[in-house]
Amino acid sequence: MRDAFDILLLPGDGIGPEVVGAAREVVDAAADHFGIEVRYEERRIGGTAIREEGEPVSAETLEAASASDSVLLGAVGHPDFDDAPASLRPEAGLLGLRKHLGAFANLRPVVAIPALIDSSPLKREVVDGVDVLIVRELTGGAYFGEKEEGEERASDLSVYTREEIDRVARVAFDAAKRRKRRVTSVDKANVMATSRLWRRVVSKVAEDYPGVELDHVLVDAAAMYLVQAPTRFDVVLTENLFGDILSDEAAMLPGSMGMLPSASLGKPGSPGIFEPVHGSAPDIAGEGKANPYATILSAAMMFRHTLGRPDVAEAIEQGVSVALEAHFSTPDLGGKKTTEEVTKAVSKWVAAGEGVM
């Protein structure tokens, strides 16, 4: 096992610096416990980069990302840039980073944590047992297609190629082999040409995975099932736009978007991007109310998917579970603990490897 890693930190905007700082503290505790070395470089992205460097992500930051073993990102976005052109919006920094690193598959696990089931707006019997992995294609579709914007007419061209669909489908099927061996492919094949190609390619890929069950579900039905019967899902595979919407909807299953980590992965051996699903929440920045769990769990995913240390990932995840069982909950989860209190609770457990609440 490797015992030294170079991590690029991109705190970003709003609460980003707070939650990335929390994750770094937990990673440091894990590094001490497991005897590994973690070297950090910190750079700007999003609104902070626009203010200080004149662009949402600089060429130097992209080069640093390529040279790292992995990227841990906070959040991008700020109301100050709501009326800015697309190229000067904070979100352009994240899109540029994903494109530069070739990160085409976004993994978003949605797990109902027993200590938080009652925080969900859904009934306990609906949420109990939920364990879904959403695999979202990241580099195609309407987000990246040719755009036209005028006062009377606007368009976003949605384009997918066979290669783009094939490679993300294989990520989903490979993940399903390690889980419950079910893939649900979500599309809108009844009206969209891209979805019909999507369905054909996914069906073809499924032939290479005879032990994995595949079903196709239209996106509107999938949205309904996520709140009606979410335990029917194992791995959900879908395109960029649908995946963005469905994963945010799924965030309500565990009770808060502040609990959802994510991993954006490219070819094997390339740096991954690990970030919480939630936004920058500038309205609570600096108040100590930010929920750091999603970023801490993103760091765990980093150790599992890119750094090759599942033992470290499991320790961090266990630390989160122990802290939640001990009622270390931030306001979004109905608790009164601060970001710092939650972080120290997880770090203390990870450092000691035993219950210390």
Give the model's pLDDT for residue 121. Answer: 83
**For residue 224, what are the contacts with CB-CB under 8 A and spacing of at least 6?**
none
Give the model's pLDDT for residue 356. Answer: 45
The last residue of a domain, from among 226, 252, 278: 252
Are 137 and 246 part of one and the same domain? Answer: yes
174 given a catalytic annotation: no
311 given a catalytic annotation: no
Give the model's pLDDT for residue 117. Answer: 82
Active-site residue (options: 143, 156, 180, 225): 143
The last residue of a domain, from among 232, 252, 272: 252
Of 354, 285, 278, 305, whose CA–CA distance to 175 is shortest? 305
Are 292 and 211 part of one and the same domain? Answer: no
pLDDT band at 286 (very low <50, low <70, confident <90, very high): very high
Instruction: Name the helix (H) or strand (E) containing 147.
Output: strand 147-149
Q: How many helices (H) and strands (E) does the chain have?
A: 12, 12
Active-site residue (options: 6, 131, 156, 248): 248
| Neighbour-count burial of 84, counting CB atoms closer than 10 A to its CB (0-12 exposed, 13-18 middle, 19+ buried) | middle
Of 230, 203, 8, 213, whose CA–CA distance to 134 is shortest? 230
If one counts the domains in the chain, the total is 2
Distance CA 354, CA 174 (A): 33
* C-beta separation of 294 from 260 below 8 A: yes
17 phi and psi angles, rounded to 5 deg: -60, -35
143 given a catalytic annotation: yes
pLDDT band at 354 (very low <50, low <70, confident <90, very high): low
Distance CA 310, CA 304 (A): 4
Least confident residue range of 86-90, 222-226, 326-330: 86-90
Greater confidence (10 vs 123) lies with 10
Q: What tens digit of pLDDT does each residue of 155-210 get?
A: 999 999 999 999 999 999 999 999 999 999 999 999 999 999 999 999 999 999 99
Active-site residue (options: 160, 187, 188, 289): 188
Is 83 domain-assigned? yes
Are 269 and 217 part of one and the same domain? Answer: no
Q: What tens digit of pLDDT does each residue of 60-114 get?
A: 999 999 999 999 999 999 999 998 888 899 999 998 999 999 999 999 999 988 8
Of 136, 140, 185, 170, whose CA–CA distance to 267 is shortest? 170
**For residue 198, what are the contacts with CB-CB under 8 A and spacing of at least 6?**
160, 165, 185, 187, 189, 239
**CA-based Rg of the chain, rounded to a whole angstrom?**
20
**DSSP letters spanning 227-294:** HH-GGG-SEEEE-HHHHHHHHHHHTTTTT-GGG-EEEEE-STTSPEEEEESS---GGGTTTT----HH
Are 236 and 137 part of one and the same domain? Answer: yes
Of 56, 2, 57, 55, whose CA–CA distance to 31 is shortest? 2
Are 154 and 244 part of one and the same domain? Answer: yes
pTM exceeds 0.85, yes or no: yes
Which residues lie across from 107 on neighbouring strands?
Answer: 135, 263
Is 115 domain-assigned? no
Are 16 and 76 part of one and the same domain? Answer: yes
* C-beta separation of 133 from 253 below 8 A: no
- The CATH number linked to 150 is 3.40.50
- Name the packing angle between helices 293-305 and 310-325 (round to 10°): 160
Are 95 and 36 part of one and the same domain? Answer: yes
Is 6 domain-assigned? yes
Are 161 and 237 part of one and the same domain? Answer: yes
CA distances from 102 to 9, 59, 164 (A): 18, 15, 11
Q: What tens digit of pLDDT does each residue of 124-143 get?
A: 888 889 999 999 999 999 98
pLDDT band at 307 (very low <50, low <70, confident <90, very high): very high
Are 268 and 237 part of one and the same domain? Answer: no
* C-beta separation of 45 from 65 below 8 A: no
Residue range(s) defining the domain that contains residue 139 = 131-252
Are 73 and 166 part of one and the same domain? Answer: no
99 given a catalytic annotation: no
What average pLDDT does the segment 288-302 reach? 97
Are 202 and 263 part of one and the same domain? Answer: no
Active-site residue (options: 244, 289, 293, 344): 244
For residue 14 the two structure tokens come to 């709003």
| Mean predicted lDDT score pLDDT of the chain | 94
- Is the pLDDT at 59 greater than 50? The verdict is yes
- The CATH number linked to 87 is 3.40.718.10
The last residue of a domain, from among 229, 252, 275: 252
Active-site residue (options: 166, 174, 208, 220): 220
Of 307, 276, 272, 273, whose CA–CA distance to 34 is shortest? 307
188 given a catalytic annotation: yes
Is 124 domain-assigned? no
Angle at CA of residue 186, ends 184 and 191, nearest 5°: 145
Of 297, 261, 300, 302, whose CA–CA distance to 278 is shortest? 261
- Is the pLDDT at 225 greater than 70? The verdict is yes
Distance CA 132, CA 141 (A): 23
